Chain A
């Protein structure tokens, strides 16, 4: 893909920040409202894919290397499994929600029943949401980018 017209490029550059903020909102409020790390990550990744389509894979590959995405993805995964292992170290069980009802962050216990919702609650859940979000963004974008770039290099299938 060699990129689309100037109109498409401009519009997608304008839309991209909004898509990104929306995705981040979905990730951050994962424990309160519908959504979570996967859904928000998919939204951000689709925003990135929009940029990829409008600017072309060669240009995007010049800006973002798949290696960097790979590092980002590994980081997300390590944070996720690291939180689980911290549960083992602090509370003695793998995957324990050790932050919940402690005196660290995300520690507020919500009132039972219908509430407005407090962002600073739910223990390790928001951290895991962010880790998974990071992973999904990097992972999905890496898949799309690598596929688009490779098929461009192969000449659209004509051997």
Chain B
């Protein structure tokens, strides 16, 4: 028994991607038998993926970085020829996010997509998206990253256009695929520059050899621009509300995962590939050091504030339930990169040393930012599921045509309240736990940042209270007369997310020490990432 488990642990990196892919290839065939069998099959595949992810994550958090080579047991590492998967704390953390969302989405879809045609393809694409996100976060190879990026963007674009009879969905899908294919081509261009420079595609090898010449700077700019474009950071955020509101709600939940995976790409580039180069001291004043990371950090903070403000104000203006949550999602992404940006702007030189270190409040900000990633996935996911439930019951998303839902849809209302509390950072939900860390730490970096963050959070609360008031409270209007509570499967899916939200809110310390801290340490320790492949070179 122990043998089997250890074999499974050893091969879990490959199986995590192979299982959903295999499931996706089989789904059209299984779908010909029976709808019910197919749904069970798809749920089983996502759960199996979840199982492998959990054992891998457990392994990584206890025994450190795990590498997996495709095709050879004892691959040559000088030069690195084959494709490696390299899973450190951050990858494991992202894999957890990436695997929770599809499970919820698939369970939810059982009720949600019952009446739709083309369900087999729908489930196939959801599984492909899952495999793509997992591949993106686990891989240690630049070109492989590009391939999985394309898998995620193509499958999610096709799913955004699921309702082809809606204008919004189709044009959002087109916008999304144009943005993401240009972004992916930019990533490929950067990969080509790396290949031409270092004759390597492995991230660890590139990180080991990288200098900071003109071409490296170009590659950095191209990579950051492409990935921030895909992560919907202002000024390239416009596609996100369209795509999020155009897609069916369970799909949106998984697309949240693709956005976070792109953000993970930004972190991987900034912290790991350019990790060493960013810490070279350009000029120092006492213990204050001007490093490339300071400049990048300030740049990211500016973008982050812009993203938060734009997201919140557009959410205030909006009059459509799903669109509003889409803008709130933009703002939430802003919070994450605000924390990360302020973290990397706090490097300084401790007295008596010559190398730069991140200040304690910087590390705290980083913790908050990473913690907020998983919280954002849960909160925004839950809100979109609620919006989907409202749409399922009433076929409406415009707030003018909704009212008095709380009497007919009790459970959904409760879930909406939980989501509302979480996304606007009120205790005892998870959003409060991570936002509090972000406020505290950014206050030490610059008080203005914390004030902006708190104000915007309050405005988000106002936005969602408005939604609550107009959609769930108040008198029933004619279009919501015959509303019934949504099917059980949808309630179960929302329940899973709500339970996780409350759990994370009640025991933030537990989550931070067990999941977030390893991820943070992995980001800060790029030399470990390199030596895991090259063996201490």
A–B in direct contact per CB < 8 Å: yes
The main secondary structure of chain A at its interface with chain B is helix
Which B residues lie within 8 Å of A95 (CB)?
14, 70-71
Which stretch from B24-32, B89-97, B151-159, B318-326 is at the chain A interface?
Answer: B24-32
Chain B residue, CB-CB nearest to A71: B29
Which B residues lie within 8 Å of A77 (CB)?
25
Q: How far is the CB of A96 from chain B (nearest CB, A)?
A: 6
Which B residues lie within 8 Å of A93 (CB)?
69-73
Q: What mask results when residues 75 to 115 of chain A are scored 1 for a CB within 8 Å of chain B, else 0? A: 00110010011011001111111000000000000000000
Q: How far is the CA of A95 from the CA of B71 in the complex (A)?
A: 5
Chain B residue, CB-CB nearest to A97: B71
Q: Please tell me which one of the listed residues A71, A78, A88, A91 contacts residue B14 in the complex, with CB atoms under 8 A apart.
A: A88
Which A residues lie within 8 Å of B14 (CB)?
88, 94-95
The main secondary structure of chain B at its interface with chain A is helix
The answer to whether A94 and B28 touch across the interface, beta carbons within 8 angstroms, is no
The answer to whether A78 and B70 touch across the interface, beta carbons within 8 angstroms, is no
Which A residues lie within 8 Å of B251 (CB)?
none
**With A70-B28, A74-B26, A88-B11 given, is the CB distance from A81 to B18 under 8 Å?**
yes
The answer to whether B11 and A74 touch across the interface, beta carbons within 8 angstroms, is no
Q: How far is the CB of A45 from chain B (nearest CB, A)?
A: 19
Chain B residue, CB-CB nearest to A92: B73
The total of chain A residues at the interface (CB under 8 A) is 18
Q: How far is the CA of A74 from the CA of B15 in the complex (A)?
A: 19
Chain B residue, CB-CB nearest to A135: B25
Q: How far is the CA of A39 from the CA of B15 in the complex (A)?
A: 29
Which B residues lie within 8 Å of A81 (CB)?
18, 21-22, 25
The answer to whether B18 and A96 touch across the interface, beta carbons within 8 angstroms, is no
Which A residues lie within 8 Å of B32 (CB)?
67, 71
Which A residues lie within 8 Å of B21 (CB)?
81
Q: Please tell me which one of the listed residues A74, A85, A97 contacts residue B29 in the complex, with CB atoms under 8 A apart.
A: A74
Which A residues lie within 8 Å of B72 (CB)?
93, 96
Chain A residues with CB under 8 Å of chain B are 67, 70-71, 74, 77-78, 81, 84-85, 87-88, 91-97
Contacts A/B (CB < 8 Å), 5 sampled: A91-B73, A94-B14, A94-B18, A96-B72, A96-B73
Q: Closest 7 interchain pairs by CB? A: A94-B14, A77-B25, A95-B71, A95-B70, A78-B25, A74-B25, A74-B28
Q: A74-B28, A74-B29, A91-B73 are known; give 16 further A-B pairs, CB within 8 A.
A: A70-B28, A74-B26, A78-B26, A81-B18, A84-B18, A85-B22, A93-B69, A93-B73, A94-B18, A94-B70, A94-B71, A95-B70, A95-B71, A96-B71, A96-B72, A96-B73
Chain B residues with CB under 8 Å of chain A are 11, 14-15, 18, 21-22, 25-26, 28-29, 32, 68-73
